[in-house]
Amino acid sequence: MVSSSHVLNLPVTLGWEDDQLRILDQTRLPQESTIETLTNAYEVWRAIHELRVRGAPAIGVAAAYGLCVAVRKSQHLSLDAFRAEMKEQAAYLDSARPTAVNLSWSLKRMQRAADRSNATDAATLYRTLVSEAQAIHREDQDLCERIGQHGAQLIRPGSGVLTHCNAGALATTGLGTATAPIYTAQRDGVAFRVFADETRPLLQGARLTAYELQRAGVDVTLITDSMAASLMAQGRVDVVIVGADRVAANGDFANKIGTLNLAIVSRHFGVPFYVACPSSTLDLDTPNGAGIVIEQRGGNEVTQLGGRAVAPPGIKVSNPAFDVTPHDLVTGYITEAGIIRAPFAVNLAAQFGQAA
Ligand code: MRU
């Protein structure tokens, strides 16, 4: 698999080679870099559901290629039967995780490409789907670059930048979203430091963000989630940049559990709080955060750490994977079109109404 960002030595999340979808199994990082080939719809569904490929934009790209994997063996069917099969497989893949809108965004886009196609046989329509998935993949890399260019101005020499979860190269197929300004500033030779929240329960910050930033030569310090307020109280954080899984029309957004705490403490200490995301993460059909479905995950993610029990047997557990941050705690959205500021309901629609 080939990296678009080899200058920074970033890990490559996924690739399409010889009509095969290959992913880096993120559940094994940072200890092992294992590439897995996904050969059928169930394997793609499971890889997304089990977070081997995760992060909103990466899920979108994986699902687009995943749909190609799912219908590849159906090219002998009649065109109508192939189209019906494609619809069924898209609905199945869409059920892998509920919160990141990029999953359904990309599958709808694949469907539109099929609807537009004037292919007269299934094999030709299959090639159209592969081309569309490759376009989604290329665009994702380009969106990350542009987010980086717009967001880098927020990082000055000596800045302390705090981020949560992994909205990095591993969550996309390019520079990441929250990390795109970081990598861009790094490439520009700016000297700054990043604090990465470990991000319980699954430690995406420790396992993934700390890993990829360190690999890219960024000055990164790992902290536990509960340390952010204390760092801010000491004046060591100048800006917070996080990613998003879904942004509602009024600017409320869902991101990894713990993001809301961070937004609240940022407001308390007067630290600017930015959300970096491409327009594919906008859901302008959902009016506000109350309409965002939050994924609930298994209790063992909380009661175990590294496969070992850290809580008494039989304890009740709550494990929502995401929380919703209200728009009034957001300083701005760093998007491919620039930094969007309040009023978000007006400015997001004005910028992206047509596209979304
Ligand atoms: O459960 P995950 O690891 O898929 O959660 C990922 C996040 O919450 C990211 O911050 C979000 O998807 C933005 S990725 C650019």
CATH number of the domain encompassing residue 18: 1.20.120.420
Same domain, 120 and 133: yes
Same domain, 305 and 181: yes
Same domain, 129 and 185: no
Number of structural domains the chain divides into: 2
Q: What is the pLDDT of residues 272-284, one digit of tens each?
A: 999 999 999 999 9
CATH number of the domain encompassing residue 232: 3.40.50.10470
Query: Are 150 and 339 contacting, i.e. CB atoms less than 8 angstroms apart?
Result: yes
Domain end: 90, 111, 141, which one? 141
328 has catalytic annotation? no
Query: Does 320 sit behind a cis peptide bond, omega within 30 degrees of 0 on the bond before it?
Result: no
Q: How far apart are CA 183 and CA 177, in angstroms?
A: 10
Q: Which residues pair with 339 in a beta bridge?
A: 334
Structure tokens at 30: 């940072």
Same domain, 52 and 126: yes
Residue type, 178: A
Structure tokens at 95: 């059920």
Whether residue 2 lies inside any domain: the answer is no
Question: 70 CB contacts (<8 Å, ≥6 apart)?
Answer: 40, 41, 44, 86, 89, 92, 93
Domain end: 141, 170, 192, which one? 141
Whether residue 110 lies inside any domain: the answer is yes
Same domain, 150 and 46: no
Whether residue 6 lies inside any domain: the answer is no
Measured by CA distance, the residue closest to atom 6 of ligand 1 is 55
Query: What is the best residue among 204, 212, 241, 334 to mutate for testing ligand 1's pocket, by most ligand atoms within 8 Å of CB?
Result: 204
* Mean pLDDT value across residues 291-301: 98
Beta 253-256 vs 220-223: how paired, if at all? unpaired
Position 2 confidence tier, pLDDT thresholds 50, 70, 90: very low
Whether residue 245 lies inside any domain: the answer is yes
What is the reported pLDDT for 290? 98
Atom of ligand 1 nearest to the CA of 164: 10
If we measure between CA atoms, which residue out of 224, 256, 242, 260 comes closest to residue 161? 242
Same domain, 152 and 121: no
pTM of structure: 0.96
Whether residue 292 lies inside any domain: the answer is yes
Same domain, 125 and 259: no
Q: Measured in angstroms, how far is the CA atom of residue 119 from the centroid of ligand 1?
A: 36
Query: What is the best residue among 245, 294, 335 to mutate for testing ligand 1's pocket, by most ligand atoms within 8 Å of CB?
Result: 245
If we measure between CA atoms, which residue out of 253, 268, 239, 247 comes closest to residue 326? 253
What is the reported pLDDT for 326? 98
| Res. 285: pLDDT tops 50 | yes
Same domain, 76 and 188: no
Which range marks the domain in which residue 196 is found?
Answer: 146-352
Q: Which residues line ligand 1 (CB under 6 A)?
A: 51, 54-57, 100, 165, 167, 171-172, 176-177, 204, 243-245, 255-256, 321
Same domain, 45 and 83: yes
* Mean pLDDT value across residues 240-262: 98
| Res. 26: pLDDT tops 60 | yes
Whether residue 3 lies inside any domain: the answer is no
Domain end: 119, 141, 163, which one? 141
- Report the chain's mean pLDDT, rounded to a whole number: 96
Query: Are 212 and 289 contacting, i.e. CB atoms less than 8 angstroms apart?
Result: no
Whether residue 120 lies inside any domain: the answer is yes
Same domain, 190 and 264: yes
Q: Measured in angstroms, how far is the CA atom of residue 256 from the centroid of ligand 1?
A: 6
Residue 164 φ then ψ, to 5°: -130, 150
Q: Measured in angstroms, how far is the CA atom of residue 203 from the centroid of ligand 1?
A: 12
Q: How far apart are CA 106 and CA 173, in angstroms?
A: 14
Q: Which of 197, 245, 283, 323 is catalytic?
A: 245
Whether residue 316 lies inside any domain: the answer is yes
What is the reported pLDDT for 354? 64
> Which element (helix H / strand E) includes 276?
strand 273-276
Same domain, 243 and 172: yes
Q: How far apart are the first and last CA of the chain?
A: 30
Same domain, 207 and 99: no
Q: Which residue matches tokens 């394997």?
A: 43
Q: Measured in angstroms, how far is the CA atom of residue 166 from the centroid of ligand 1?
A: 6
If we measure between CA atoms, which residue out of 14, 21, 106 comes closest to residue 70? 21
Q: What is the pLDDT of residues 149-175, one digit of tens each?
A: 999 999 999 999 999 999 999 999 999
